[in-house]
Amino acid sequence: MKELEASLKRDMKELETSLRHDMKELELRLKHDLTVRLGVMLTAAVTIIAAIIKLA
């Protein structure tokens, strides 16, 4: 019975570690995606403003 309990504790610890690692990866990927998206929007805005000024 103690072996089963120890095995379950070890498995739970491995799952927690794996979940923590996956969540950190997801957070980093989300930050990267948002940063890229913001950069694209800023570039588009500057381009549109430059085109409007050139036409005026």
Tens-binned pLDDT, residue by residue, of the chain (56 aa): 889 999 999 999 999 999 999 999 999 999 999 999 999 999 999 999 999 999 98
DSSP output for 9-39: HHHHHHHHHHHHHHHHHHHHHHHHHHHHHHH
Which pTM does this prediction carry? 0.65
Query: Looking at residue 17, what is its pLDDT?
Result: 96
Coil, strand or helix at 56? coil
